[in-house]
Each structure stands twice: as structure tokens, then as C-alpha cells.
Amino acid sequence: MTLYTEYLTEIETRKEQGLSPKPIDDGDLTEEVIGHIKDTSSPHRDDCLNFFIYNTLPGTTSAAGVKARFLKEIVLGEAMVDEITPAFAFELLSHMKGGPSVEVLLDLALGTDEGIAKDAADVLKTQVFLYEADTDRIKDAYEEGNAIAADLLQSYANAEFFTKLPDIDEEIKVVTYIAAEGDISTDLLSPGNQAHSRADRELHGKCMMSEEAQKEIEALKLKHPDARVMLIAEKGTMGVGSSRMSGVNNVALWTGKQASPYVPFINIAPVVAGTNGISPIFLTTVGVTGGIGVDLKNWVKKMGEDGKPILNNDGNPVLEQRYSVETGTVLTINTKSKKLYSADGKDELVDMAGSFTPQKMEFMKAGGSYAIVFGMKLQTFAAETLGIEAPAVFAPSKEISHEGQGMTAVEKIFNANSVGATPGTVLHAGSDVRVRANIVGSQDTTGPMTAQELEAMAATVLSPSVDGAYQSGCHTASVWDAKARANTPKLMAFMNKFGLVTGRDPKGAYHAMTDVIHKVLNDITVDDWAIIIGGDSHTRMSKGVAFGADSGTVALALATGEASMPIPESVKVTFKGKMADHMDFRDVVHATQAQMLAQHGDNVFQGRIIEVHIGTLLADQAFTFTDWTAEMKAKASICISNDETLIESLQIAKSRIQIMIDKGMEHENGMLAKLIDIAEQRIADIKSGKKPALTPDDTAKYAAEVVVDLDQIVEPMIADPDVNNVDVSKRYTHDTIRPISYYQAEKKIDLGFVGSCMVHKGDIKIVAQMLHNLEAQYGEVKFQAPLVVAAPTYNIIDELKEEGDWAILQKYCGFEFDDAAPKVQARTEYENILYLERPGCNLCMGNQEKAAKGDTVLATSTRLFQGRVVADSNTKKGESLLGSTPVVVLSAILGRTPTLEEYKVAVDGINLTKFAPPLTKPLDSLSVHF
């Protein structure tokens, strides 16, 4: 059977699913397609012409290489295809976005046929995805006196690839579609349980919201052909959560416009909106596609005569509507005045200056942020080669500097890592900065999209300026099903070849490491001045500053070693008081959220950096706080550490990197060994006093300050999705924090989960010690609800075995993972036993393991979105409550939430956390967690 015959079979299978033929990325299949095109008698010729022109993926796919070479033959007259003239061949090459297409265009432009060379050069002037190999060829030709090369360089120096693009429309009509009320999680747009299909854009698009919603959107498009559908989070924020790129891809697929007529299912420029704006990471992703994000402010707090908000019976502000965005409402966006108007343009509804900054308007004009990033680099190269000053074409980066004002921790990191800023200028919050990305992480459910983005931007090798890069296998760890077997090895092979250390060895030489990506990134971050970019919203490290990013931004960081963003404002978090012995550090995390809201009324963390002064805790425990800041809607977080604590954290990181090397995970580029060298140098600089641990300046300016009173934390707390709140907008947020006494020991728990990136070695030790405690008290331990335990890393399990804690876990478990025989099916029904699951994300991800519909789950994880961990049943809403490890364990044993006294007995003698506000000398931070 030929590849083309197999492709036809696949087409029939997809047709049954209501899908089009899958875009072709395989070079061998493309060769067979070309064979049918050349054979004028082939019955498949017409179909193959269509596949070749409209259904072959561009960039650096092997299919793109074959396509580009055949188009070159047509241009040179070496192959004749009536339907593809040389002019049309050039047009097709112009849509292939670099890699082999640029190589072919350079061959033609620098060739001997003057007419062809000029036509090729005209196409090249529109291209921006050129890499060193391409620019070196142009430079060499220019230095040899080639006129075409000189013409190209002049065009690039003038940035004609940008200036000759049409301007964005002054008026954009939109028609509203309310996707949901309250915060909209990206899970609604791209469900985690469909993560396996994200790289198949048409297939994945079918999971957005619902079939009914998709039909309603299509109906709006038919009714308003001159308007773009604007997807809205009514009374909430759009795009909270993790599935950013796939979420934006889906929204663009249904409401955006096609990027190229010759590339299927890649749409750009969606318009999304929220009463409270757009989640910061999601908004960045919208910019990647040249889309528009709108902060509607259509509901405002009702104010009393005293100037204070009027509160309802629940203590929440009463909202009143300023203007309606009911589904089907036609509105007008004016990109010149930067305002949202009524349909007739008479009533001004909201200012949109933040949506139309000069940089964002450039993204819109260029069809996305990548083209601008690469275009700037190309212009700089051309000007330097010609020995001229590049004309000011692009909007200058906004540089904000306040004389006499010190720097926050994030401002210090951004200034230290900035690229292209005015020399000697101190940049403060609000400045637009290009920064070096030190550590980059790709995870396995977004990784296939990252690989696609790298191919699309014609990147083939990791930027040498990146210190460390890792591809995880944690999001698909728990079930090694057909989807994982099809996607994961291919992804690992691609990323390893690109230059990343990978959780799985493409050659199978080392044991598959399904360790949670955030834990690995936290270990390989060996400098508190580092910038980390990761393909997951929980890319929050306890060293350096980390930003969760869409798969496209991750690809850009891998390819260029850079990221671009404004320096965010910071909120300073400090602590006072003394922590009670029976409290777990997770409760400090919840208390921070609750006390912040009590102190400020609004969420002052949203869109900002949380600078947490928590320096007496080592990296793993501090990570529990920084990790949770994603749920606080923060842009990122920074941990201010004491010198001694940072040194100890770096020593631990060194040992864990060495374990990775010992397991055979070192890349041929020597990346892990280099990271150990960086850690050793950082330790030496701290010890010598040359460069102490990162701290803010005393004169730094903060957007707000929060002081957490540890004395107020007297009982464990739970983050509750509050699924039955009469105000729909208050459901499924992370702002409802309740003490366990609220539940009066009556809240039935159907499933407990200890796992995800929020736990570390100490949490698994707590499970073991609680079993010892309860066994001593009752003689034996019986579970009234299932308890799933998933250690984040294999190292933790190895250490627990050495220290004797694993034995009691094995004693009470009814299931223990076996890497030699991984599960091939997801588990949705559980017995009342302890499950020791494979290291990885497990239930938190929602794409594999799943609670039964309508269950009440109590978990240590971060996800309480509707349908993520547990879906609704016909009779009951699923609930994902979030709490500390001891609360989860005890609740699973009791089958309900405990009383405070039951809890105290269960944790008696367990040294949960030694944490106090940082003093002049750090406390001993080695509690049971180590």
C-alpha cells in the first residue's frame, strides 16, 4: 500500500467524523502527490493538485521541503504543470514562511537568470523568517558585488516587508457572542481532556464550547457578514487557565480570518473580550495572532452615598450595567480613536487605548507578533551589513524611567536581561522590553503545537543563548494510550533533535521520565536573576521570574532566545506573626489570597508580579507559593530569598541536575553540565559577597502591598469553586477561601488527590506519617473514599524508599504504578483504596484520569474549573475543592471533611512547616519536607 493510498483511507475515516483531509506534513507523501500531478493520465491528478496547492503545511516540515523544490523546478522550466505557472509558483513560495522556501528563493535570486532573479527577489522582500544560514548567503553575495543582494539588503533595511503591508482598518464592526458568564477558563475553549488533538486544528476546533455554540457563532457570521464575532466573558475575565494557544487557535478558527489561502485551518486575528478584560497570558497569545483583546468594563460597582461600594447579602459588591453586550449586539471598534462605540458610532462605550498600543497595532498589521520580532532582527542585520543606521520604522519601545526611584526585584531582572534598550537607562514598570530567556520549557500536550510553530517559523536549532531547555512528558504520564503513543515519541524526537533535554529518550536508552515539568524547571533554574518561559500557566519558579506562555511564545524563545513584554507592576507580600504548629504551608498560600481580598477589596494581584518575601524556605516549599500565584491571576511571581537559603536551594538543584545526567538525560550539547557550572558560579558569587541574593531596592515603588498575618491562620482552609452560588460570575474562581469548620464535618468527599505541581517530597512524607499516626490510633486505616497519590518526580519516590516512607504507602495501596506495564486506559471509577500513581500531572490535567461525573473531589492541585478535574452529572455539579495534603488525606479516610480536632490528632507530631517571616538570620527550614 502506498502512502497516498493510506492517505485516501485516512480521508474517508475523517469524512465520517465530518473532517476535511488532514494537512500534509510528510515529504514522502508529498513526493507521491507530485508523482500523480506529473502523470496527466492519473485519476488522482486533480485531487493531488488540490492537496499540493492548498493542503501542504509550510515552514520546515519535510513536506514543505519537497514542495519548495518542485516549485523551483517549475520556475526554472524543468517541470511543466499547466495549472501552476512560474508566477503562481512564486506566489505559493511566498506563503511558505521560510526554511526550504527561502533557500529556494535565494537559489533563484542569486542565480544567473536575471528575470527569475528579480522575481525571486521581489518575493524575498516580503519574507521575514530568515535565519543565519540565509542572511549569511545574502551578506556573502553582497560582499562579492551581487546587485540583487544589495537590493535585498536595502529593502530589508527599510523594512519594506512591513511598510508595504496594508494598514489595519480604521473601523471594525463586531457582533457580540457571550460565551459564558463569569471568568471563562481556557478549558471552555480548549478542554484539557481533548489535549491529544491540539495539533490537528480542525479536529480540535470541534471541542470548543459546544456544538450548539458553534452553530450560533456560524449563524451570527451569516447574519452579519460585515462584522467579526467578538467572544465575551460577561461579568468576568476572558482566558484564565492554561490552554492558551489552543484556546486562541480555536477562537480564531471559528471567528477569525484565514492567515493564508494556501494553508488550511490556520486562522488569525480573533476578537475577544471580558467585563474584567483578558487574562494576561491569554492576551499575550491573542497578540501572537494579531488579534484584539477588549476590556469592556460594561458592569461596574454600584456606589453608595458614602462613596463606597454597596454590598449584597454575601458581602460582594452589587454590580450595575453600563451598557449591554447581549449576544447579537453590533458594535464598532475605531482603531484611530481607540474606542468602542455603539453600532452607529454615536455612543462612546469604552476607551480601548490599551488594546491599540503602537506595538499591538503592529502585530495586527503584520498578522501576528512573530513577523514583527523577526522583522526587527532582519532590519538590524541589513542595516549593519550596509553600514547604515536603520530608519525608524517600528514603534519605539516604551522606556519608562523615574529618576531617584529604586527597582523592584522584577525590574532588576528585566534590566539585567534586557536586549536593545537605551544604554544606561534604568527601566521601570510599564517599559516595553526585549529580554533574554535563560530557561525555556515545553510540555507535552502543548508541545506538538510548539513544534508546529517552530516549523512554521522555519527554526531548526535551539538558540545558543538559552542556558537550559526541557521537554516534559508529564501531562500524558498517567495513561499510555494510543493517542500518547502516537504523539509523544514523535514530539520527543523533534525536540531532542532541536536541542532540548527530553523527558523521554527518542532512542529509548534511558528510562522515561514523566516528572512534572514545573519541578524540573525549578531544579534547572540555577540563577535567581534568570527569566524562565514555559508552555504552561504554572511556569512559576522559586528562583528567577517565570512566565507561563503560549506554545508560540515558547517556540519564539527556543528559536531566538528572547521574549518581549512590558515590565509588569509588582505587589509586595510580606508576613508577620507566628505560624501555628498544626498548620501546613498550603494554608499560608490560601490565607494570602483571602487576606489580600480582605485588605484591598479587589484582586490587586491580577496582571502583576507578586514579590513574596519568603526567604527562609528552600526552593521546593517556596515553589508551593509561587506556583499558586497563577490562580491569583498574577502575571508571575518572585521569591525574595536569603543568601543562605538560596545557596542551599542551588546545592539541591545541582544534585538533581547531576541525577538527570547520571540517568543518561544529558544532551549532546552538554546543557546539563553547563547548568551545574552556572549554579557553582552563582554560589561562589553569593559566598564572596560579589552578588548576593536578589533583593529589591528600599526605594522601589509597588502597585500595592499585602501583609499576611500568620497569627490569623488557625485552621486549615479550602479553596471552594462555590458551584451553587446564585451569582454565576462568582463560581469557579479561586477567591472563595473557607475554613474547614465552615463544612461542619458534613461535606462528603468522593475522591481525594495528592499530586500535581503543588506538592513535593514533604507532602508524600506527610501521607506516610499520617498513616502511621492513624494506624497507631485505630489499629488500621480504612479509606471511606479513594485516595490518589502521584509523586511529582521519580527522585522523590527513590528518596522515600531509601528513608523508609514508601513501605507504609505500599502497605495500604491497592494499586501501584508499573512503568513496565503502564495503563492504557483512563480510570474514572475508583475503589475506596490508596492508589500510587505514576509521577506526573494526573487528575490535575484533566486529559487522562478523571473523577466520576458529579463527584466532589478534594485535591492538592490548582484546578477547580468546571469540567477540568470533574464534570457535572445530570443530577449534581462536580466540585473540585483544593486544600492541603493533610486535609485531603484525612478527608479521604473519613469520607468527609474533618473537624479541627480530628485534623489535629491526625497531624500530631508531624512537623508540617517551619516558616516564619524572614529575620536577620534564616530559620532552619529543614522540616519534614526534607
CB 58 within 8 A of CB 101: yes
DSSP summary character for residue 355: G
Tell me the torsion sign for CA atoms 895, 897, 901, 907. Answer: positive
pLDDT in tens, 332-378: 999 999 999 999 888 999 999 999 999 999 999 999 998 998 999 99
CA-based nearest residue to 467, from 551, 553, 527: 527
pLDDT in tens, 172-195: 999 999 999 988 988 899 987 787
**pLDDT band per the 50, 70, 90 thresholds, residue 923:** very low
In this structure, the number of other CB atoms found within 10 A of the CB of residue 79 comes to 17
CB 182 within 8 A of CB 732: yes
CB 274 within 8 A of CB 236: yes
Beta strands, E only, 567-674 = 570-576, 609-615, 636-641
**Residue 35 backbone phi and psi in degrees, to 5:** -60, -40
Beta pairing, strands 330-334 & 339-342:
antiparallel
Percent of the chain with pLDDT over 90: 71
Cα gap 198→845, rounded to integer Å: 14
CA-based nearest residue to 610, from 710, 737, 708, 679: 708
- Please tell me which residue, 727 or 7, carries the higher pLDDT value: 7
pLDDT at 926 over 50: no
State which H helix or E strand residue 524 sits in. Answer: helix 517-524
- What's the confidence (pLDDT) of residue 922? 39
pLDDT at 920 over 60: no
Tell me the torsion sign for CA atoms 123, 126, 127, 133. Answer: positive
pLDDT at 927 over 90: no
- What's the confidence (pLDDT) of residue 928? 40
Cα gap 6→12, rounded to integer Å: 10
CA 853 to mean position of chain CA atoms? 27
- What's the confidence (pLDDT) of residue 631? 80
Cα gap 133→895, rounded to integer Å: 63
What cell numbers appear for 102 in the block?
527561502
pLDDT in tens, 425-478: 999 999 988 899 999 999 988 899 899 889 988 899 999 999 999 999 998 888
Residues whose CB is less than 8 angstroms from the CB of residue 620 and which lie 6 or more positions away in sequence, other chains included: 522, 542, 652, 760, 761, 762, 929, 930
| Residue type at position 897 | T
Cα gap 456→118, rounded to integer Å: 25
Cα gap 617→912, rounded to integer Å: 13
State which H helix or E strand residue 301 sits in. Answer: strand 299-301
Question: 370 - beta bridge partners?
Answer: none
CA-based nearest residue to 319, from 737, 734, 730, 607: 730
Average pLDDT (238-262) is 89
- Bin 317: left if φ > 0, else alpha if -120 < ψ < 50, else beta: beta
- What's the confidence (pLDDT) of residue 371? 93
Cα gap 398→416, rounded to integer Å: 17
Cα gap 270→52, rounded to integer Å: 28
CB 207 within 8 A of CB 246: no
Grid cell 533554574 is found at 525
Q: How many CA atoms lie within 13 A of 532 on its CB side?
A: 36
Cα gap 373→368, rounded to integer Å: 9
Degrees, nearest 5: CA angle 256-71-127: 50
What cell numbers appear for 511 in the block?
528510562
pLDDT in tens, 89-145: 999 999 998 889 999 999 999 999 999 999 999 999 999 999 999 999 999 999 999
Mean pLDDT over each residue of the chain, to the nearest integer: 92
Average pLDDT (293-319) is 84
- Please tell me which residue, 175 or 631, carries the higher pLDDT value: 175
- Bin 867: left if φ > 0, else alpha if -120 < ψ < 50, else beta: left
Reduced to 3 states, what is the DSSP secondary structure of residue 882?
strand
CA-based nearest residue to 4, from 55, 61, 40: 55
- What's the confidence (pLDDT) of residue 914? 63
Degrees, nearest 5: CA angle 296-301-306: 145
Beta pairing, strands 562-566 & 432-436:
antiparallel
pLDDT in tens, 757-775: 888 888 999 999 999 998 9
Q: Is 580 exposed, middle or buried (0-12, 13-18, 19+ CB in 10 A)?
A: middle
CB 243 within 8 A of CB 186: yes
Cα gap 512→620, rounded to integer Å: 23
Residues whose CB is less than 8 angstroms from the CB of residue 78 and which lie 6 or more positions away in sequence, other chains included: none
Q: How many CA atoms lie within 13 A of 613 on its CB side?
A: 20
What cell numbers appear for 764 in the block?
508524600
**pLDDT band per the 50, 70, 90 thresholds, residue 507:** confident
